[in-house]
Structure 1
Amino acid sequence: MLVPDLPLRTDRLLLRPFTADDLDALHAYRSRPEVTRFLYHDPYDEAAARVSLERARGRTALREPGDVLNLAVVLPETDELVGDVLLSWTSAEHRQGEIGYVLHPDHTGRGYVTEAARELLRLGFDGLGLHRIVGRLDARNTASARVLERLGMRREAHLRENEFVKGEWTDEAVYALLHREWRAGAPNA
């Protein structure tokens, strides 16, 4: 079980629970086609953003397998919500987890996603005691793949046309990092 002391602070970011006041900012980036291109959902309208926000607001702890920790990524100096990150606890028996992230395109290229995701890896490995954490993505999403590689994760699989998403068969890439690799200081971890 992991109930983190929130908010979490990194060098440049604040990772905090979502609040009702985050609706406009969440909608601002999750409504953009370039953001949702490789995600399972279409661009959000306001109603979809509201549903997503309410779900995220309840995701503040990992009490049992299947739970998801979903945090807002905020620039502390301006209190601007620039994205979100998540850590899923996928198996207690096998001590497995998964990370994910989405960032407003106005804030890409600054290392924010890598910094926030690194903090979630720390929580998963050091806080929850996970053995292995994966990142799964549409194989066409090269920007996301670069983030996982910067985190020290290795590409373990390229699954051909394994999912039917938004009317087309898509390939999935799977990256992973083991606890012992994290402890040994995987590159840039």
Structure 2
Amino acid sequence: MSGERDIAYVVEPGRIATATADGPPAVRFPYDASALVAEPLRTERLVLRPLEASDAADVYEYQRLPEVIRYLPWPERDRAEGYEHTAKRAAGRALAADGDSVFFAAVLPGTPATDDPTRDRVIGDFMIRVSSVRHAQLELGWVLHPEFQGRGFAREAAQAVLDFTFETLNPHRVQAFLDARNGASAALCERLGMRREATILEEEYNDGEWQDTAIYGVLRREWAAARG
């Protein structure tokens, strides 16, 4: 036997024509997020600017919590390790190649930082990572301090970052990879208009067990239609 198989493909009516109309990949790279230091993204209640090493104290307040790292590929870190990790993530400002990432600090004006009452507090951070330049695919990720969950902050910030991603960087597709147990992030993906496309069974071994990964995604034309 040659190993070749006859495979029947089922194509949704009109999908090929619609996808073709989207055109070839046209992501707008390179992009330098340093411009967002002076002109950050703003929502009704939040300021979203590039993460800075000086945000480490606020970040560590949620980075150290077991209920947060349960759903993230983060090991337990002591304070020094946490500060070093934040500095490393803050150093990423350019998007140009696969694997590049930028992190937005979600700042809540009027709430003092944990280490400096003259600064506003960082209550979470939101990521844009390059999955594939060739295929114009970007990834979103987020983490929010549990103290500020359930108040719409995650949706507010994630929507702003998603809109910025499509409007400024022009990807064909934006996706998110979640610990499949993370119901809150799954619900957020759906509120952002992302569909659950797959579940990878037992993809990673963390916390003494095999864990599933859920994949969510949205195409540029779907985002545009939803945003009117």
Fold agreement, TM-score > 0.5: yes
Aligned residue among 122, 146, 158 for 2:187 = 146
Q: How far did residue 12 of structure 1 move?
A: 1.3
Structure with larger Rg: 2
Aligned residue among 92, 99, 116 for 1:59 = 92
- Aligned partner of 2:66 in structure 1 is 33
8 Å Cα contact 2:51/2:125 also seen in 1: no
- 1:88 is the counterpart of 2:129: yes
- 1:3 is the counterpart of 2:32: yes
TM alignment of 1:26-175, pairs within 5 A: 26-78=59-111, 79-175=120-216
8 Å Cα contact 1:40/1:166 also seen in 2: no
- Give the AA of the match of 2:211: T
Return 82-91 or 163-172, whichever deviates more: 163-172
Any idea what the Cα deviations from partners look like across 1:135-180, whole Å, max 9, x if unmatched?
Answer: 1111111011011111010000112112222332111111101000
Any idea what the Cα deviations from partners look like across 1:47-86, whole Å, max 9, x if unmatched?
Answer: 2211211112212231333210111110123311100000
TM-score by length of 1: 0.92
Aligned residue among 177, 184, 189 for 2:225 = 184
3-state SS of paired residue (2:221): helix
Q: Which of structure 1's runs of 4+ aligned residues deviate more than 3 A?
A: none
8 Å Cα contact 1:33/1:42 also seen in 2: no
8 Å Cα contact 1:59/1:70 also seen in 2: yes
Measured on the aligned residues, the alpha-carbon RMSD in Å equals: 1.6
TM-score by length of 2: 0.77
3-state SS of paired residue (1:184): helix
Change (3 A) 1:76 1:171: same
Q: How many residues align?
A: 187
8 Å Cα contact 1:89/1:97 also seen in 2: yes
Change (3 A) 1:139 1:113: same
Aligned-pair identity in percent equals 44
- Aligned partner of 1:24 in structure 2 is 57
- Give the AA of the match of 2:103: N
3-state SS of paired residue (2:95): coil
- For 2:207 and 2:144, the matched residues in 1 are separated by 21
8 Å Cα contact 1:56/1:71 also seen in 2: no
